[in-house]
Amino acid sequence: MTLLHYLVLSGILFTIGAVTVLVRRNAILAFMGVELMLNSCNLALVAFSRVHGTLTGQVMAFYVMVVAAAEVVVGLAIIVSIYRARRTVSVDEPSLLRN
């Protein structure tokens, strides 16, 4: 059992999250992709914490979690207010500055 397994899994999950952000047109789904990327980074942090034998990586992962919680609150509030104004959650619709 090496820690490489965890790092490779982290890379795969990060990629899935990134591609989700790129291809999904639903704002909430793209946002979930961001969450998946943050989670995979946390996994890498915890795995490296075990490599180094210190708890610093775990503390970093903890802070990432807290900041992600704050980010989700604000982001979802923005999505809800956009939905109220435009009746859509698609990331393509609000192109007010075009033309």
Partner 1 sequence: MTGSVVGTGGELVLFWVIAPLMVVAALALLFARKPVHAAVGLIFVMIGMAFLYTALEAPFLGVAQVVVYTGAIMILFVFVLMLVGVDAADSVAETIAGQRWIAVLLGLGLVSVLTGVVVTANLPDAVGLEAANELTNPVGVAYEIFGSTVFALELVGVLLITAALGAITLTHKERLSAIRDQKATVRLRMRAYARGEGSQVLTPMPAPGVYALHNAADVPALDPYGNPIDISVPRVLRIRGQELDPSSVDGHVAQIAGGTFVQPARVASAESPVSQERAAAEGARAEGGDADLDAPAAEPAPAAPAAEPAPAAPAAEPAPTDHEGDDR
Residues 18-77 binding partner 1 (CB under 8 A) are: 18-20, 22-26, 28-29, 31-33, 35-36, 39, 42-43, 46-47, 49-56, 58-59, 61-63, 65-74, 76-77
Q: Which among 1, 6, 70 is positioned nearest to 41, based on CA atoms?
A: 6
In sequence order, what are the residues at sequence separation of 6 or more whose Cβ sits closer than 8 angstroms to the Cβ of residue 45? 57, 58, 60, 61, 64
Residue 79 engages partner 1 in binding (rule: CB under 8 A): yes
Q: How many residues bind partner 1 (CB under 8 A)?
A: 71
70 or 96, CB closer to partner 1?
70
The two tokens of residue 49 are 């914490």
Around Cβ 20, how many Cβ atoms within 10 Å? 19
Least distance (Å) from partner 1 to the CB of residue 79?
Answer: 7
Least distance (Å) from partner 1 to the CB of residue 45?
Answer: 9
Residue 85 engages partner 1 in binding (rule: CB under 8 A): no
